[in-house]
C-alpha cells in the first residue's frame, strides 16, 4: 500500500538538474519553494535546510521516480528515514526541528539502478494538540479523516517498556516521540491484522507523544487505541542463568546494565527455537539473532559501552521453557587494513571478524567486501562508538560503507554474515576518495 499526499507549491519552482550532490556541497532548500532534481544510476543528492522557527516540518518529493529519503543533523547523525511516505513511490519525512539549526537531507533511489527526475520541497506544519492516553486505562475510540492524524500523550510512572497499540479495521501507523518531539520509533503492522503496535523504553515521570495516521492517506475510519506497561526482567552480567517460559506468539523482555565496555553476549539454552533482538537505552534497534547458539538457541553479541542499559526481546517459534544469561568479553584485536590493499578472509558460521583503518588525510573512506558471502559491516570510532552499518550496498550481497573521515584517526570495522548461518570466504578492501 502507498500513501497519497498532495504537495502544495507555495512559490516559484527552482530547477536543479545534474549529478549527485555531496553533503559538503549540499543544495539549499528554502521553505515554500520547490527544487527539481534528477537521479542517475547509483547517485544521491544532498540538500540543506535552515528553519527559521521551531516546530514540525514536512520534507517530501513528488514525481514518478521511486525516491528514498534520509534526514540528518548538521554533523551527519542520521535522524530519520523514509521510503514511500509521500504520494505514490515518493518519500516524505515529518520532523520536529529547532530554529537556526541546519539539517541535511539525502535523496537517492530506492534501488541503486533507479533513475529519473523528481521535485523536493519543505514546509512548516501546525503544532499538535495531544489527547491524554492513560496506561492501563480504557481504550480510547477515535476517527481518522483522509490524510489526517491524531496525537496522544502518555505519562510514564516508572522506567520500563511501554506498549501503545490500535485495534479495529483501519490500517493504522504510529510514530513515537519524546516530550521535546524528538522522533523515537514508528510502526505499521505489528498489531493484529493491519493495526499498529509500538514498544518504547520509558523513564519515570516522563511524557511521550504518539501520532496515529492511516497507512494510506486516502483511507479514513474509526479505531481504538490503548497503552500498557510491559514487564522487564533484569539479567546480571556474569550472573546465574534466568529461567523463563514463552509461547509461540509471546514476548519476554530483559535488561542488562554493563559495568565495562566490550562485547556483551546474551544467549539462551534449552530445547526450544528462540530468537533475540537487542536495543539500546533509547530503544534504538542494534541487532538480532536466530540460531547463533547451540542447536536452535539464540546467541546475540553486541558492542556495548560501559555503564549503559541494553534491552533484549526474546521470542520463540514454539511453546516451552528456556534459560537466558548475559556475559561480557574484551574487544578482539582488529586486523589492520592498509588503504589500497585487498585482504582475504574467512567467516565462520555465527562469527565475526574485526578490522581497523588508520587514515592519513581527510576525505571519504570506502570499505567494501567482494565475493559470494552475504556480508554485513559495522563501523565504530576508536572508542568503539557506533557510527554506521551496511548490508548490501556493494555488488550482489556484499557490504559497502562510505563516510567522511578526518586525518590521523582510527576506525574499527566489524564484519559478519547477514544471518548467523552465513559462512564463507570474502575479500575486504579500503580506499580513500
Query: Tens digit of pLDDT for each residue in 336-376?
Result: 999 999 999 999 887 889 999 999 999 999 999 999 999 99
- Fold for the domain defined by 232-329: Jelly Rolls (2.60.120)
Residue numbers of the chain with a pLDDT score lower than 50: 1-20
Long-range contacts at 22-29 (CB < 8 A, ≥ 24 apart)? 22/46, 23/72, 23/76, 23/104, 23/106, 23/404, 24/404, 26/104, 26/105, 29/59, 29/105, 29/120, 29/121, 29/122
> Do residues 414 and 378 touch, judged by C-beta distance below 8 A?
yes
Sheet holding 242-246, edge to edge: 242-246, 320-329, 262-269, 299-304
CATH class given for the domain over 335-432: mainly beta
pLDDT score for 326 = 97
CATH class given for the domain over 131-230: mainly beta
Domain ranges in the chain?
A: 13-124, 131-230, 232-329, 335-432
pLDDT score for 1 = 31
Q: Distance between CA 174 and CA 186 in Å, rounded?
A: 6
pLDDT score for 22 = 65
> Do residues 398 and 428 touch, judged by C-beta distance below 8 A?
no
pLDDT score for 2 = 32
- Fold for the domain defined by 13-124: Jelly Rolls (2.60.120)
Strands (E), 215-338: 221-230, 232-235, 242-246, 252-257, 262-269, 274-279, 285-289, 299-304, 309-316, 320-329, 335-337
pLDDT score for 102 = 95
Please indicate whether the domains covering 232-329 and 335-432 agree at the CATH topology level. Answer: yes
Q: Average model confidence (pLDDT) for the chain?
A: 89
303-345 pLDDT, tens digit per residue, is: 998 999 999 999 999 999 999 999 999 998 999 999 999 999 9
Q: Could you give the 3-state DSSP secondary structure of residue 143? A: strand
Amino acid at each position: 500500500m502507498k500513501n497519497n499526499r498532495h504537495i502544495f507549491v507555495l512559490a516559484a519552482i527552482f530547477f536543479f538538474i545534474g549529478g549527485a550532490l555531496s553533503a559538503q556541497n549540499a543544495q539549499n532548500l528554502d521553505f515554500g519553494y520547490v527544487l527539481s532534481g534528477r537521479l542517475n544510476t547509483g547517485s544521491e543528492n544532498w540538500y540543506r535546510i535552515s528553519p527559521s522557527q521551531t516546530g514540525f516540518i514536512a520534507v517530501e518529493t513528488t514525481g514518478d521516480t521511486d525516491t528514498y529519503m534520509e534526514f540528518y543533523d548538521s554533523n551527519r547523525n542520521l535522524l530519520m528515514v523514509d521510503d514511500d511516505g509521500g504520494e505514490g513511490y515518493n518519500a516524505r519525512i515529518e520532523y520536529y526541528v529547532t530554529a537556526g539549526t541546519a539539517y541535511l537531507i539525502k535523496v537517492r533511489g530506492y534501488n541503486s539502478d533507479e533513475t529519473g527526475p523528481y521535485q523536493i520541497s519543505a514546509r512548516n506544519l501546525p503544532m499538535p494538540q495531544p489527547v491524554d492516553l492513560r496506561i492501563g486505562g480504557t481504550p480510547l475510540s477515535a476517527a481518522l479523516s483522509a490524510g489526517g492524524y491524531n496525537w496522544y500523550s502518555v505519562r510514564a510512572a516508572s522506567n520500563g517498556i511501554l506498549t501503545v497499540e490500535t485495534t479495529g479495521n483501519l490500517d493504522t501507523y504510529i510514530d513515537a516521540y519524546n516530550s521535546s518531539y524528538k522522533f523515537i520509533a514508528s510502526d505499521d503492522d505489528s498489531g493484529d491484522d493491519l493495526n499498529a503496535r509500538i514498544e518504547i523504553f520509558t523513564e519515570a515521570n516522563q511524557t511521550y507523544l504518539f501520532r496515529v495516521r492511516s497507512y494510506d492517506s486516502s483511507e479514513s475510519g474509526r479505531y481504538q487505541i490503548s497503552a500498557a506497561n510491559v514487564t522487564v526482567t533484569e539479567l546480571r552480567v556474569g550472573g546465574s542463568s534466568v529461567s523463563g517460559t514463552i509461547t509461540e506468539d509471546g514476548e519476554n523482555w530483559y535488561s542488562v546494565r554493563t559495568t565495562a565496555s566490550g562485547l556483551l553476549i546474551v544467549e539462551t539454552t534449552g530445547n526450544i527455537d528462540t530468537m533475540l533482538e537487542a536495543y539500546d537505552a533509547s530503544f534504538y534497534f542494534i541487532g538480532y539473532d536466530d540460531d547463533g547458539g547451540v542447536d536452535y538457541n539464540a546467541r546475540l553479541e553486541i558492542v556495548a559501552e560501559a555503564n549503559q542499559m541494553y534491552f533484549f526481546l526474546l521470542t520463540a517459534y514454539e511453546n516451552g521453557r528456556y534459560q537466558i544469561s548475559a556475559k561480557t568479553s574484551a574487544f578482539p584485536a582488529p586486523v589492520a587494513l592498509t588503504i589500497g590493499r585487498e585482504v582475504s578472509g574467512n567467516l565462520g558460521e555465527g562469527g565475526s571478524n574485526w578490522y581497523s583503518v588508520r587514515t592519513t588525510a581527510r576525505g571519504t573512506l570506502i570499505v567494501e567486501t567482494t565475493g559470494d558471502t552475504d556480508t554485513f559491516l559495522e563501523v565504530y570510532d576508536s572508542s568503539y562508538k557506533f557510527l554506521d552499518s551496511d548490508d548490501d550496498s556493494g555488488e550482489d550481497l556484499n557490504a559497502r560503507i562510505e563516510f567522511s573521515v578526518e586525518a590521523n584517526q582510527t576506525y574499527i570495522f566489524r564484519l559478519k554474515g547477514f544471518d548467523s548461518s552465513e559462512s564463507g570466504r570474502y575479500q575486504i578492501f579500503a580506499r580513500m576518495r
